[in-house]
């Protein structure tokens, strides 16, 4: 029986050929992930850019005939390559691109992590998701100094507080249709929440698209300080938790766009003198992508753009932040010349 090709321009549509689907249709991982789980979001959302989500670490090997060409397409990372990480702040030379604070509103660096030995969010049962939450929160509550903070379960958060945290860029949005179709919003808001320190410069999202989104952020453009805080936090958490990762693909994530470093290093930068096309051209030259003021699937407001590294795999964390610093400096130069 020949299978219909998915519609649209997603990487899923490009790479799920009838032959690949015939090869993969009967495969099942140890946690019960099937091809239908992996492709559900892209089938339901033909406007997806990518269209697939892994249900567990094993998905990347068992469904490699589909994931590998998608990964090669998105990251320029062939199956023969091996990811290298470098989270040592001493290796980063990223001078502040906006020391007078005239353009960069704030800097944020986040990494995604999933616990080893559990399925990922699209397959987790309610019970398993609660175990992940308890395991992660226990580790977070052991942090001290600047990283010490409190966990706020979404189910106990009043709507006004939740809306304000989202508007202030500290908390994930709800109801993403791509995540919904992938099964990542099941049992919402059960076992989802936010951990943050007093100053909201260190935050952790629990059980959104990935089981952890570990975030360091602050006003201004001191990328070195934001990166150093994140590296300290990851060192502490790696002593308490074991994360899903592979020799080949680095840290393993629900969406293949986040593999490797699983890092998105971004600045919110005010560029009222440049057109969207000019910003995109400079960003592209530096391996950066542009999102709107409220992140993915949002528009820029008040001339403030979210500029960040596009690739996360086959590039080290240090290199990703260095590229962001260089790209931000180039954008600021262009903005200064525009007036
Ligand atoms: P992710 O960054 O985790 O992939 P999003 O792109 O949706 O997810 O961004 C999540 C939130 O982080 C959004 O509210 C977005 O505005 C905010 N954000 C991203 N970069 C920055 C930044 N440099 N400063 C402040 N907030 C930021
Ligand atoms: N919107 C989905 C995911 C793309 C990458 N963004 C993530 N993982 N948040 C798509 O396939 O277009």
pLDDT at 3: 61
Q: Is 296 in the pocket of ligand 2 (CB under 6 A)?
A: yes
pLDDT at 295: 86
Mutate to test the pocket of ligand 2, among 8, 9, 46, 49 (most ligand atoms within 8 A of CB): 49
Q: Is 178 in the pocket of ligand 2 (CB under 6 A)?
A: yes
| Alpha carbon of 50 to ligand 2 centroid (Å) | 6
Looking at the domain that runs over 11-75, which CATH code has it been given?
A: 1.10.135.10
Check whether 138 is labelled as a binding-site residue. no
Closest Cα partner for 280 from 317, 256, 306, 315? 306
Residue of 291, 312, 322, 323 marked active site: 291
Check whether 239 is labelled as a binding-site residue. no
Check whether 91 is labelled as a binding-site residue. no
Has 141 been annotated as catalytic? Answer: no
Bridge partners of 289, per DSSP, are 308
Has 110 been annotated as catalytic? Answer: yes
Band of the pLDDT at 5, cuts 50, 70, 90?
Answer: confident
Q: How far apart are CA 5 and CA 191, in angstroms?
A: 36
**Pairing mode, if any, of strands 304-309 and 288-291?**
antiparallel
Q: Domain residue spans in the chain?
A: 11-75, 89-337
pLDDT at 7: 82
CATH classification of 89-337 is 3.40.50.2300, yes or no?
no
Closest Cα partner for 82 from 323, 262, 260, 234? 260
pLDDT at 336: 95
Q: Is 47 in the pocket of ligand 2 (CB under 6 A)?
A: no
| Alpha carbon of 51 to ligand 2 centroid (Å) | 7
Q: Is 203 in the pocket of ligand 1 (CB under 6 A)?
A: no
Q: How far apart are CA 247 and CA 84, in angstroms?
A: 9
Asked if the domains at 11-75 and 89-337 fall in one CATH topology, the answer is no
Residue 28 has pLDDT above 80, yes or no: yes
Three-point CA angle 198, 204, 205, nearest 5°? 125
Has 30 been annotated as catalytic? Answer: no
What digits encode the pLDDT tens for the residues 50-60?
999 999 999 99
| Alpha carbon of 23 to ligand 1 centroid (Å) | 38
Band of the pLDDT at 269, cuts 50, 70, 90?
Answer: very high
What digits encode the pLDDT tens for the residues 43-90?
999 999 999 999 999 999 999 999 999 999 999 999 999 999 999 999
Q: Is 256 in the pocket of ligand 2 (CB under 6 A)?
A: no
pLDDT at 298: 87
Give this prediction's pTM: 0.96
Q: Is 108 in the pocket of ligand 1 (CB under 6 A)?
A: yes
Has 116 been annotated as catalytic? Answer: no
Residue 1 has pLDDT above 70, yes or no: no
Residue of 208, 209, 317, 319 marked active site: 209
Q: How far apart are CA 220 and CA 98, in angstroms?
A: 8
Residue 209, token pair as written in the block: 């698209």
Average of per-residue pLDDT across 215-243: 98
Q: How far apart are CA 192 and CA 307, in angstroms?
A: 27
Check whether 291 is labelled as a binding-site residue. yes
Helix (H, G, I), strand (E, B) or coil at 317: helix
Residue 2 has pLDDT above 60, yes or no: no
């Amino acid at each position: 029986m020949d299978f219909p090709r998915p519609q649209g321009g997603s990487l899923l549509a490009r790479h799920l050929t009838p032959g690949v689907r015939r090869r993969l249709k009967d495969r099942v991982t140890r946690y019960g992930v099937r091809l239908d789980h992996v492709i559900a979001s892209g089938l339901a959302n033909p406007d997806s850019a990518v269209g697939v989500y892994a249900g567990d670490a094993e998905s990347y090997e068992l469904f490699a005939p589909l994931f590998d060409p998608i990964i090669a397409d998105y990251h320029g990372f062939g199956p023969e390559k091996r990811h290298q990480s470098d989270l040592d702040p001493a290796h980063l030379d990223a001078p502040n691109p906006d020391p007078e604070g005239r353009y960069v509103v704030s800097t944020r660096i986040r990494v995604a992590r999933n616990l080893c030995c559990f399925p990922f969010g699209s397959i987790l049962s309610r019970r398993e998701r609660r175990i992940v939450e308890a395991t992660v929160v226990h580790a977070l509550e052991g942090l001290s100094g600047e990283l010490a903070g409190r966990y706020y379960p979404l189910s106990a958060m009043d709507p006004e507080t939740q809306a304000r945290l989202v508007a202030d860029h500290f908390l994930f949005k709800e109801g993403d249709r791509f995540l919904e179709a992938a099964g990542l919003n099941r049992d919402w808001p059960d076992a989802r929440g936010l951990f943050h320190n007093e100053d909201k410069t260190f935050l952790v999202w629990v059980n959104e698209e990935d089981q952890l989104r570990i975030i360091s952020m602050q006003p201004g453009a001191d990328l070195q300080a934001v990166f150093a805080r994140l590296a300290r936090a990851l060192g502490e958490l790696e002593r308490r938790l074991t994360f899903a990762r592979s020799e080949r693909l680095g840290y393993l994530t629900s969406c293949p766009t986040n593999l490797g470093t699983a890092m998105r290093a971004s600045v919110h930068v005010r560029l009222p003198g440049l057109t969207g096309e000019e910003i995109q051209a400079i960003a592209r030259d530096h391996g950066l992508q542009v999102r709107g003021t409220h992140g993915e699937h949002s528009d820029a407001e008040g001339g403030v753009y979210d500029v960040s590294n596009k690739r996360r795999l086959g590039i080290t964390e240090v290199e990703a932040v260095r590229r962001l610093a260089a790209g931000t400096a180039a954008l600021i130069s262009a903005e200064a010349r525009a007036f």
